[in-house]
A and B are shown apart, each in its own frame.
Chain A
Amino acid sequence: METSMRTKVQAFGGFLTAMVIPNMGAFIAWGFITALFIPTGWMPNDFFGQLVGPMITYLLPLLLAYTGGRLVGEHRGGVAGAVGTFGLIIGAQIPMFLGAMIMGPLSAYVVKKFDKLIEKKVPTGFEMVINNFSLGILGLFLCLLSYSVIGPVIQQANNAVTVAIEALIKTGFLPILSIINEPAKVLFLNNVIDQGIYYPLGMQATLEAGKSIYFMVASNPGPGLGLLLAYSIFGKGLSKKSAPGSMIIHFLGGIHEIYFPYVLMKPILIISMILGGAAGTATFSLFNVGLVAGPSPGSIFSYLALTPKGNFIGVIAGVLVGTLVSFLVSSFILKVSKEKDETFEVNVKKAKEMKQEGKDTLAKKLENTKDVNPINFIAFACDAGLGSSAMGASAFRKKLEKEGISIEVKNYAIEKVPNEVDVIVTHKNLLDRTRLAWPDKRIVTINEFMKDSNLDDLLSEVKELYK
């Protein structure tokens, strides 16, 4: 029981990674565009700067939503995920990353459940019409729902964050602010907390003292740098390889958003961000330093440009301490979890093995020998997947229904057979093409799609398994 819980948690971690990693390229493209072309970037350019907002508001969350949905329910799930998430995107004023990572898979799950529900009731031949319309109508509702719900949710989150931060400020102990800052940043509330709370406070303080630490409590680029450093050394696969590029965008370009995905794919890393942020702020307090204005974007260059005379050592020390602490804690977390959960691929393999184990136990329960593989999903495949295979699948499904067996039987073009299939039925003339597309699958060849002795054998095999 415990191991299965652990495997589940790991599989969930793997799921988050699988949602983020394939999209890192898009994040990096956006990061460079932003770092280069925004008004405070390296080569400000109004024309190219137009790309920044739409990319982070629409493109990146939609990619996450599509990828998350696809993990749950193939391409159809991906489409459902993107449609369902679009309501969130329009309804929220901030980039909806976490929302996309929830709504994407959730929408796909809803559609998948619906498909299961109606599957046996769809008359052969109507699948395409019903599939398109069911996805369209479910998507409509998911989109409307997420659109209406998200506005108030974000408003509440903003209020909660504001109240919490104001309470923490009253304690007078600034490092504690990181507990709110870092999660809020990763949830893309960074502009709310910086421009809504810290910068006004900072400006007041600056009027009196000529500088303020409030400009630095949430914008310190150190912790993010530490996290990315840890990933470039102890990460694996694409997250390791993309981390150095992200470092440039984050630390030199000041685009903190680029490190958020690295936290989202391993949420426990928020601890190292909090500790790094707190250590940085503590160091700033210790040296009694501040900045003269809000650093935007929060790059090391803006920091140094806004540091008043005599404060350089303290500011640099705070950034370095933040980097170091976050690096050490992140490295520790990454190393420990690496040993525990190995790679994502292993997770997936494990999950599959577990599933297989489950199926095997089921098969055993149905008093069968070990070498018999379960059959839950049979695909009929032909050239276009519309003519002969459709008739074959329809006929076989009817025969199973007569026996009271409910397993999935569907028709496809050979190359479009989904991966979960247990057995592929195809015409013997199409065997080579099928074998080429599906080298590892069990393939049953037949002479005639609607009536064939191999089909009769397959039917009795399934009957054996389920009776």
Chain B
Amino acid sequence: MLKKFLSKNIQVLDQIETWREAIKIAAVPLVEDMSITHEYIISMIENVEKNGSYIVIAPGVAIPHSRPEHGVLKTGLSLLKLKKGVMFPEEKEVKIIFVLAANDNETHLELISELANLIMEEEQVAKLFLAKNEAEALECIN
């Protein structure tokens, strides 16, 4: 399922200056495939401004998200991989950003479950950190 969602939604870039920019860019594929509206991007950023970077759930990995009512059109997931880390609040360096959009609980929960399993696989994550392009990144996703 992860693979299906991510196949067209992966970006690998060198560097982005601010975490706000990073979230915006990471979310672009989801706006393009009509999964979310611009409002959702603003809401994800506000969430970090309000609650801090608790969305950074493992070293170097962030899952920005917000609530379904803040502009989700359909369930979606996108991945932005950076070669040079971007700083999130509280000095957290992030290289992998999964943008999570959920509009129905069932698919959303399945996605979360698979995503958690992926992030726990340290080898896979290590490979993902080193991925040089979209194809290599997609290979790390099962």
Is B56's beta carbon under 8 Å from chain A?
Answer: yes
Is B17's beta carbon under 8 Å from chain A?
Answer: no
The interface bits of chain B over 56-68 (1 if a CB of A lies within 8 angstroms of the residue's CB, else 0) are 1111010101010
**Cβ-defined partner of A391 (8 Å) among B67, B108, B119:** B119
| Min distance, Cβ A382 to any Cβ of chain B, angstroms | 6
B58-A390 in contact (CB<8A): no
| Cα-based distance from A430 to B53 in the complex (angstroms) | 11
The interface bits of chain A over 433-458 (1 if a CB of B lies within 8 angstroms of the residue's CB, else 0) are 00000000000000111110000000
B54-A124 in contact (CB<8A): no
Known: A384-B67, A387-B100. A395 touches B120 (CB 8 A): yes
- New contact pairs (14) apart from A394-B112, A427-B54, CB-CB < 8 Å: A123-B113, A125-B111, A382-B54, A386-B102, A388-B63, A391-B57, A391-B115, A394-B113, A394-B116, A394-B117, A395-B116, A395-B119, A395-B120, A429-B52
B109-A398 in contact (CB<8A): no
Total interface residues on B, CB under 8 Å, equals 31
Is A207's beta carbon under 8 Å from chain B?
Answer: no
| Min distance, Cβ A389 to any Cβ of chain B, angstroms | 9
| Min distance, Cβ A414 to any Cβ of chain B, angstroms | 11
How many pairs, one residue from A and one from B, have CB atoms within 8 Å of each other in the complex? 90
Enumerate chain A residues within 8 angstroms of B55, measured Cβ to Cβ. 387-388
**Cβ-defined partner of B112 (8 Å) among A125, A383, A427:** A125
Enumerate chain A residues within 8 angstroms of B47, measured Cβ to Cβ. 383
Is A464's beta carbon under 8 Å from chain B?
Answer: no
23 pairs from A and B in contact (CB 8 Å cutoff): A124-B113, A125-B108, A127-B109, A129-B109, A383-B47, A386-B112, A387-B100, A388-B63, A390-B112, A390-B113, A390-B116, A391-B57, A391-B63, A391-B116, A391-B119, A394-B113, A429-B52, A448-B59, A449-B54, A449-B58, A450-B58, A450-B119, A450-B120
Interface residues of A in 116-161 (CB under 8 A from B): 123-129
Enumerate chain B residues within 8 angstroms of A387, measured Cβ to Cβ. 55, 63, 65, 100, 112
